[in-house]
């Protein structure tokens, strides 16, 4: 009888651990769903005036509006859109009354339209505050010759344009033929259900292997 003790113990412990990981992923799935619902609400709510000191925690994706003036100082980030030729995202410095200077992601413009002159002009911008996490250790630095950026990096772009590290992603057209690319939740995955299924399947496999091992021990000739 003692020869069954260790396999049974290992089977129980293994299944318990794997099942607990599966239930943990289900909990994470519920938390992520609530987070995505909160983000969707921030995106779709009526815009509020741009806060004096935007912060990523309480203000990320918050719908805002601001009145000021596009300066003509801008950066271009390599981008593409389905059904369109390659192009760039235009991120331009935006002067506010009172001396503040922020950035506005005006949107996408195709490669062939990049050289069309865009004069500074007054505007009212509606969009969402955003602190995108586009960069990683493999992201190359901006191209020295063309000035083209390969990812959005709010602090670095703000330093380059001489603005505060505040970015509004425009949700409505800002003129000059630039197509807005509003924020949404499509880029925030909620894959925890798949992870939970994997852990539960591993638990079932562990249980099956334990049963098979016990059967082998029982049928083994002494």
Residue 135: predicted pLDDT: 85
* pLDDT of 88 above 90: yes
| pLDDT tens digits along 185-208 | 776 777 888 999 999 999 999 999
| pLDDT tens digits along 123-137 | 999 999 999 888 888
Residue 83: predicted pLDDT: 60
In this prediction the pTM is 0.74
CA dihedral 64, 67, 68, 74 (to 10 degrees): 30
Q: What kind and span of H or E run contains 5?
A: helix 2-44
Band of pLDDT at residue 152, cut at 50, 70 and 90: very high
| pLDDT tens digits along 137-147 | 888 999 888 88
Counting DSSP H helices and E strands in the chain, the numbers are 4, 7
Contact 77, 151 (CB under 8 A): yes
Buried b (16+ CB within 10 A) or exposed e, 11-50: beebbeebbebbeebbebbeebeeeeeebeebbeeebeeb
Domain ranges in the chain? 2-40+189-219, 62-170
CA-CA distance, 202 to 180, in Å (whole number)?
A: 45
Pairing between β-strand 148-149 and β-strand 63-79 as defined by DSSP bridges? parallel
Listed range (5-14, 99-108, 162-171) with the worst mean pLDDT: 5-14
* pLDDT of 81 above 70: no
Contact 174, 123 (CB under 8 A): yes
């Amino acid at each position: 009888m003692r020869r069954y003790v260790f396999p049974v113990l290992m089977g129980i412990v293994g299944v318990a651990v794997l099942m607990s990981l599966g239930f943990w992923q289900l909990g994470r799935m519920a938390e992520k769903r609530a987070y995505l619902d909160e983000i969707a609400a921030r995106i779709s709510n009526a815009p509020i005036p741009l806060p004096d000191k935007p912060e990523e925690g309480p203000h990320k994706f918050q719908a805002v509006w601001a009145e000021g003036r596009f300066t003509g100082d801008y950066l271009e980030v390599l981008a593409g859109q389905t059904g369109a030729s390659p192009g760039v995202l235009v991120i331009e410095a935006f002067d506010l009354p009172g001396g503040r200077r922020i950035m506005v992601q005006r949107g996408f413009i195709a490669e062939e339209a990049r050289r069309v002159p865009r004069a500074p002009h007054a505007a009212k911008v509606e969009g969402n505050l955003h602190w995108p996490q586009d960069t990683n250790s493999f992201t190359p630095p901006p191209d020295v010759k063309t000035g083209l950026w390969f990812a959005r990096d709010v602090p670095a772009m703000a330093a380059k344009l001489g603005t505060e590290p505040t970015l509004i992603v425009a949700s409505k057209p800002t003129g000059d033929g630039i197509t807005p690319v509003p924020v949404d939740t499509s880029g925030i995955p909620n894959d925890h259900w798949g992870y939970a299924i994997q852990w539960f399947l591993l638990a079932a496999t562990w249980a099956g292997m334990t049963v098979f091992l016990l059967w082998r021990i029982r049928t083994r000739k002494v």
